[in-house]
Each structure stands twice: as structure tokens, then as C-alpha cells.
Structure 1
Amino acid sequence: MKFTKDHTLCMKGIAILLMFFHHNYLGPERWLDSPINFFPFTEDIFVYVAKFCKICVGLFVLLTGYGMTVSCKNRIKTNYDMRKYILNRYLSLMLGFILVFLIIQIASIFTGRFEYIYGKGTYAWIYFVIDALGLAHLFDTPTFCPTWWYMSLAVLLIILFPLFRGLIERYQGLVLAAAVLVPTALDLPFTDLVRWLFCYCLGIYIAQHDLFVKIKEKFMQQSQMKKILCFICMVIGMGIIIKFRQSGGFGMKFLYLWEGLAPAYVILFSYIFLVCCKPLAVILKFLGKHSMNMFLIHTMFRAVFFHDFIYSFYYAWIDYIVLIIVSVASSMVVELIKKIIHFDRVSQKIKSFVAVRLNLI
């Protein structure tokens, strides 16, 4: 039994669905004056759940730490191997981002948004380049799309991977404890890296010890009655996780801890009970394959250019589904453009060129 790439794609599919719900219904300011029916729930319940869905960030962070660790097993023998791996991972991330970035810039060329966001003159183009490199949030410069703040964190997670992988291999659980306790004890600035550091380290730790697989193997050995009881307990546990994380006192006091435990719990629950349903797994895997493009594109529809359209269907669930459909369709267009321009071949040539220049080949 393994936690495969297909499982990872399913988890990314879940993460993107949580992200869309989080962004759509975080508060009334998201839908402005649009009349929305939240049947069979209330507006307050939607907002409450949407706030919890912020764990979508943690899912992506944990999967990054997990995936990079698994990729390195039996592959990375030397520091040279690690440098080459980090470069390849970084370029894969950035080339995909830059392509979508440029497509959106071209599609927006007559809207005036470039000047509205970046301003005029030399600084406008400096801001443009920083944004294209995914570093706008890190340098606190203007960004064309607010959701792209995550790119700065994603870059840091890749660059810092060798450090934290080595620390966890050597010090194990002590690193996890430090990632939770040190920021609070030292009152470190509440940055993105600090907030999700425990989550990232937890992903590395789980991968090193293959914990998801070991727990599922243990579950599969149980009798049918015990499996049903386990399911009931984990559903109750999910409710407890949501309640604790969303509590103003306990949740905020141990926020660094919850930002790791909640995503890990959701992934474990999904791995044991959801992805075994093949039709559901097929849908989640499909969404997972498109999750990067969907993440980069959807805010341009939801909040920038087509806000009124996205929230125009009266029923909250329909608005949500429309955003998913529009984002998937846009992602499919991006993938078509990739085929037309032979993106994979061009990317490989760029990676080889950069590797040669850095003496990594």
C-alpha cells in the first residue's frame, strides 16, 4: 500500500474545492449586494465553514513538504543531487506560473489594470517583474492578483527544503515542537512562513515515516464493525477539529499547531474514506491536475472582472459550482495553449540551459 501521486492529486482536488469555498463565502463583503440563498443552511454557517476552509493553504503546504520528501527518497545522494532537484522544482513551479501570469496580462491588456496596479514609469515594470517572479508578497510590492501571495511562500518552501529535511532527519519530533513553540515563545512576526512552518515540517515528518500508509494499513486490518466505529469517531473528530480551530481563544492561541493538525487530519480522513470511492477519486484527481491553474486564475473571475456574473445565480451552491466550472474551463484553455507552444519541451530546454549555466549538469 502506498500514498501515490494519484492520491496527492486527489488531495489537491480537495484543497482547491476548499479554497474556492473559502474565497467565495468568507464574508458578506465577498458578494456585496448580490442576493444569495444559502439553503439548506444559513449565511452564518456558510461563513463559519468558509473561514475553516482556510486550511486549504495548509493542505498545499503539507503536500509540498510530503511530496518533496517522497521525491527525494532513494534519489538524492549528494548535495549536488539536492541542488539539481531544488532548481528543477523551482523552475517547474515558476515556468507554470509565468505562463499563466502572461496569459492573464495579455487578456487584461485593454482593461487598464496594469497601470491601476503597477502605476507608470520604470517602477511599474520593476513591480511587474517582481510579480512575475512570484515575489510580490515577499517584497510587499503590488500584485496583479491578490491570490498570488501564495507564490512567495511556495518559493520559500522549495528553497528551504534541504534545511528542514536535514533537521527533521536528525532531530525528528523536536523540530515539530520547535516549529510550534518557538514562534510563540519569541513572539516572532506573524509571517506566512512562520504560520505554516509546523505544517510544512509535519508533511516532511509524515513522509519520512510513511505515517499515512501505516495508519491506513492498521485501519484495513480491522473488522467491519470497527471500521464503521472508526468512521463515526473520525467524523466526530472532524467536528471537534473545526470547533477548536475556529474558537477565538483556544484556536488562535495554538494557531500554528492547528494549521498543521487540521490539514493532516483532512488528508488522513480523505485517504482512508473518500478516495476509495472510484467515481469521487476520478473527479478529485481531475481537479487536482488542474488545481495550479485554477488557483492562479479563479480570483480574476470571482473578484476582479466577473464578480457580478459569478454571484448572479442566487443560490450559493450554484455560484460556487459556476466558479469551479469557469476555472476548470480556463485551465483547459491554458493546457491547450501549452500544447500549441510545446510548453513541456520549451520548459525542459530552459531547465537544461539554466542547469548548464549553474554547472549542475
Structure 2
Amino acid sequence: MFRKRESEFCKGIGIAMMIFHHLFYKAENYQDFVISFAPFSEERINFYALLCKVCVAIFVFISGYGITASYYKKFADWEPSVGEIKDFIWKRIWKLLTLYWFAFLLTCLCQPLGRTITEAYGGELKSKIVYFLLDFFGLSYLFGTPTLNPTWWYISLALLIILAVPWILKLFRKAGILTTICLSMGLLFLLNASNANTFYLFPVLLGAGCQEGRVFERLDEFCKKKRWGKAIKIISETVLLLFMISIRTNYNYFGIPDGIIAFLLAVLTVDVLIKIPFLSRGMCFLGKHSGNMFLIHNQIYSYYFVGLIYGCGNWIACFVMLVGVSLVVSIGMEKIKEWTQYNRWMERIGQKTGKTIFYI
């Protein structure tokens, strides 16, 4: 079963891959520092870092799966009305923005350390206000406007996922899971519509489809009926994962390899990885803080503490340092939220705002 703990484990792997990707995917990031890449070459580490871009598909897959699970938990016994779906969507959006805004505010307060609002948005006042508001609501990527943090482009994608999943589920019910996925991807191929949002359509559909079709449960049930079923399943998943990684390094295929890799990581987590005690505890702990770490790690290594991170002299030390600093900052952020009752206040504001938006 792929539950909350398995989800947190995959998020832990995802955030570790994201940090590694951002640190080393291009040499320009660390060109002013001397870093040892032993026992690998610098080019090999750059290659692995580029491959770790699949972390985005991991988060997208989990989002599709998790939103679907929440949807059916809330509407288990009845077909929701349009108003109920809107309310469901609003609560998910507000939860995302609540997480995002705290990091956004922290980034604004930390301007003396680097990356000021003027540097990000320019000096013209009207443009600065417009860009600030679009960035504040997570829409800068959709409108192609400047942002305080380039990695926050994902907020725009996350908002689209939240908006799309309930309607995707309606398509699943009417047309079927496989039909919906095949027609959607076929349309992308025909239109040759390739951008960051359409690239991650397949992982969203796959994640939602796995929950809708009880794929994890059915795989387990099937393997239990076969002799050596579990072992064969694990070996097959591992071989297919390695094959998809080799495909992913050479071709685009509209995000299909990325989605399959995310799915295979999820099933291997359920079958094997989550059962490794030390790895399980570590990845689940990182997974709990993955949201904050995603939102603040770029500021740390790009603007605030560049020398501290890249000055470690060794690629492993650089990676461990950024993971450690991001984790400590995230823990601090959660403590401040706890002391100020930030989440409780934001929940109340969200409820009132939702009523204002939907019931005027």
C-alpha cells in the first residue's frame, strides 16, 4: 500500500535529488570554487545531476496520487456538486499558498543577505508591484514574469495540478483511466505541445490513475497468488527502472519516462526501500520537510551562503552541507509557525476567504 509514510519517503528522495540537481547540473554554478569530484569526473557528476531532474516528476506523481486519495476520502459516499469541488480545490490551493507565503515572507526579510526585490523585479515601480503580486500568488511562471526565486516556477505547476485533478477524475469515470491517459498523451503528440506544464501531464495522470485504479493494491494481490511473485515483481521493477533511466537520458517522450520512473520508485518504496530502517527514517524525515526545503534551498546556495556551500571543497560535502542547512532552516521555520500559530491563523483566514469568494 502506498500511504502517507511511503509518500514522505518518496518526497525525501525527491528533495535530495532536487538539491543534487541544482548544485551540479551546470559548471557555471560553482565556477569560482575548487571542488573535488572524486571518484567520478566532473562531467559524470553533471550528468547524474541532470538526470536528477526527474525529481519534479516524483513530486507531480505524488501530488496526483495524494489529491485523488483526498478527493475520494472526502467524497466517498456521494458524487460532489460543482460547488463542493470548488471548495475542495480552494482548500488545497490555500494549503499550498500557506506553505509558500511563509517562505516568500522569509525571503523578503532576508534581502540584506542577497537577492533583493529590486534585483529580482527591476527598478520601475509599477512593474515591480505587478511582478511582486504575481510572484506572491505563485503565478510568475504562468505569466513569464520575474521571480524572487527561479525554483518557485513549480508553484504555478502545483496550482494547475490542484485545479486539474478533480476534473481528471471525472474523465476517468466517464471514459476510463487508460482511455483518458492515451487520448491526452496522443493529443500532446499530435499538437507537439511541449513545455514544462504539458511535460508533467503524464505523471499527474499516472499518479491519479494509480489511486483511482488501486494499482498498488492490485499488484500486491496479483503477486501473492504467484510462487516467488514478490521476488519476481521486485526484480522486474528494478530492471524496468534501469531501462527507463537509460531511455530518459537520451529522449524526451513528453515526460512519459519521467512518470514511469516516478511510479517505479513508488512501487519499489512499498516493496523494499521503506523496509530499510536507517534509510526509511532518514528519507521520511526529509520528506516531512521537503516543502520548506524546496522553497528555501535555492536562496541558500545561490544568494545567501554561496561560499559556505560550494566552499566545502568536495561534491559530497557540498551536497550534505546544503541538505543539512536547508533542513535546519526548515525546522526553524516550523518552530516559528508553531510559536506564532501561523497555520491556525491561516486556516481561519482561508475559511473566511473561501466563503467570500464562493458565496458572494
Picking from 224, 237, 240, the partner of 1:237 is 240
Contact 2:245 / 2:257 at 8 angstroms: preserved in 1? no
SS in 1 for 2:244: helix
Q: Give TM-score, length-normalised by structure 2.
A: 0.92
Counterpart in 2 of 1:78?
80
**1:8 correspondence with 2:34:** no
Q: Distance in 2 between matches of 1:278 and 1:110?
A: 39
Aligned ranges for residues 189-338 of structure 1 at < 5 Å?
190-219=194-223, 227-228=230-231, 230-247=233-250, 251-252=251-252, 254-338=253-337
Q: Distance in 2 between matches of 1:18 and 1:118?
A: 29
Residue type of the alignment partner of 1:39 = A
Picking from 170, 173, 178, the partner of 1:169 is 173
Residue type of the alignment partner of 2:341 = H
Counterpart in 2 of 1:105?
108
> What is the CA distance between 1:358 and its match in structure 2?
3.2
Counterpart in 2 of 1:182?
187
Q: Distance in 2 between matches of 1:214 and 1:302?
A: 43
Unaligned regions of 5+ residues in structure 1, if any?
none
> What is the CA distance between 1:109 and its match in structure 2?
4.5
Q: Distance in 2 between matches of 1:218 and 1:322?
A: 43
> What is the CA distance between 1:206 and its match in structure 2?
0.4
**1:122 correspondence with 2:126:** yes
C-alpha distance 241-83 of structure 1, shift in aligned 2 (>3 A): same
Counterpart in 2 of 1:160?
164
Contact 1:293 / 1:331 at 8 angstroms: preserved in 2? yes
Q: Distance in 1 between matches of 2:165 and 2:138?
A: 18
1:39-83 deviation per Cα after TM superposition (whole angstroms, max 9, x unaligned): 232222222221121111111111111001111114223223222
Q: Distance in 1 between matches of 2:165 and 2:256?
A: 20
Q: Distance in 2 between matches of 1:177 and 1:41?
A: 40
Counterpart in 2 of 1:26?
25
Q: Distance in 1 between matches of 2:282 and 2:221?
A: 24
Residue type of the alignment partner of 1:180 = M
Residue type of the alignment partner of 1:202 = L
Q: Distance in 2 between matches of 1:278 and 1:221?
A: 28
SS in 1 for 2:74: coil
Contact 1:216 / 1:272 at 8 angstroms: preserved in 2? no
CA RMSD of aligned residues (A): 2.0
**1:143 correspondence with 2:147:** yes
> What is the CA distance between 1:110 and its match in structure 2?
6.6
Residue type of the alignment partner of 2:66 = G
> What is the CA distance between 1:133 and its match in structure 2?
0.6
Deviates more, 1:70-79 or 1:210-219: 210-219
1:314-357 deviation per Cα after TM superposition (whole angstroms, max 9, x unaligned): 21111101000000001011111101211121012112211321
**1:93 correspondence with 2:96:** yes
Q: Distance in 2 between matches of 1:230 and 1:43?
A: 35
Contact 1:195 / 1:256 at 8 angstroms: preserved in 2? yes
Counterpart in 1 of 2:350?
351
In the alignment of these two chains, the number of paired residues is 354
SS in 2 for 1:53: helix
C-alpha distance 115-237 of structure 1, shift in aligned 2 (>3 A): same
Q: Distance in 1 between matches of 2:115 and 2:210?
A: 47
Unaligned regions of 5+ residues in structure 2, if any?
none
> What is the CA distance between 1:135 and its match in structure 2?
0.6
Counterpart in 2 of 1:69?
68
Q: Distance in 2 between matches of 1:26 and 1:349?
A: 41
Q: Distance in 2 between matches of 1:232 and 1:284?
A: 22
Q: Distance in 2 between matches of 1:255 and 1:84?
A: 32
Deviates more, 1:179-188 or 1:297-306: 179-188
SS in 1 for 2:275: coil
